[in-house]
């Protein structure tokens, strides 16, 4: 078992721990970007209220509800759809990085993966923007993960360079490999390019900070 990972039984036996459940909803697709770039799979993530990317889900209370019931409740609030989540959809659980939460109690994250039909995924996207109670508040919008790479390096690499909540990025990467959604060498290349983009973004941010500091001093 990898460092930080727990068994489901071990996680539920943890006293004084908070639990959060999230799910990766995905489907296969034959559609193509611009009619020539295979999209291959549709994976749903969301832009959170804090500006970070993450998977749908939230906090659950195992003493009052099962992990799956709690996750389904959170999905209804965030997606506007009551999706049935099964224990068989559970992939792993681990202790979340300390930087991902402010509580003094330990946070254990439970990750699920659920495959759906393309029409079901589209319905989730529609309901999330029209009926979900959390839309525009805790959830700023659903996003699809681009699994392709364009000629100029666009697609997966820039997406991976964004800021993710907790271990959401590693959950995504692990799922891409485990489900054979992308060739390991292709993913490795995208991650390498993503690192370069992150460095460039840091330089841009520093330049913007310098400009705003100069203006701030004027006033």
Per-residue confidence in pLDDT tens, the chain, 219 aa: 455 688 888 888 888 889 999 999 999 999 999 999 999 999 999 999 999 999 999 999 998 999 999 999 999 999 999 899 999 999 999 887 665 555 557 899 999 999 999 999 999 999 999 999 999 999 999 999 999 999 999 999 999 999 999 999 999 999 999 999 999 999 999 999 999 998 888 888 888 888 888 777 766
- What pLDDT is stored for residue 102 in this prediction? 53
- What pLDDT is stored for residue 147 in this prediction? 97
- What pLDDT is stored for residue 168 in this prediction? 95
- What pLDDT is stored for residue 1 in this prediction? 45
| Residues written for the chain | 219
């Amino acid at each position: 078992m990898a460092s930080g990972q727990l068994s489901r039984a071990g996680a539920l036996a943890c006293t004084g721990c908070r639990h959060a459940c999230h799910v990766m909803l995905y489907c296969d697709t034959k559609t193509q970007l611009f009619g020539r770039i295979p999209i291959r799979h549709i994976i749903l993530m969301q832009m959170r209220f804090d500006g970070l990317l993450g998977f749908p889900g939230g906090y659950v209370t195992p003493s009052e509800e099962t992990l799956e019931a709690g996750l389904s409740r959170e999905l209804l609030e965030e997606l506007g759809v009551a999706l049935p989540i099964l224990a068989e959809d559970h992939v792993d659980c681990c202790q979340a990085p300390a930087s991902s939460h402010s509580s003094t109690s330990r946070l254990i994250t439970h990750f699920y993966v659920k495959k759906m039909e393309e029409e079901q995924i589209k319905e989730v996207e529609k309901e999330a923007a029209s009926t979900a109670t959390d839309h525009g508040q805790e959830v700023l919008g659903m996003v699809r993960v681009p699994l392709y790479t364009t000629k100029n390096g666009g697609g997966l690499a820039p997406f991976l360079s964004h800021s993710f909540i907790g271990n959401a990025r590693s959950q995504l990467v692990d799922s891409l490999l485990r489900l054979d959604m992308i060739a390991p060498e292709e993913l490795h290349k995208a991650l390498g390019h993503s690192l370069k983009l992150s460095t460039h973004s840091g330089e841009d941010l520093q330049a913007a900070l310098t400009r705003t500091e100069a203006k701030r001093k004027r006033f």
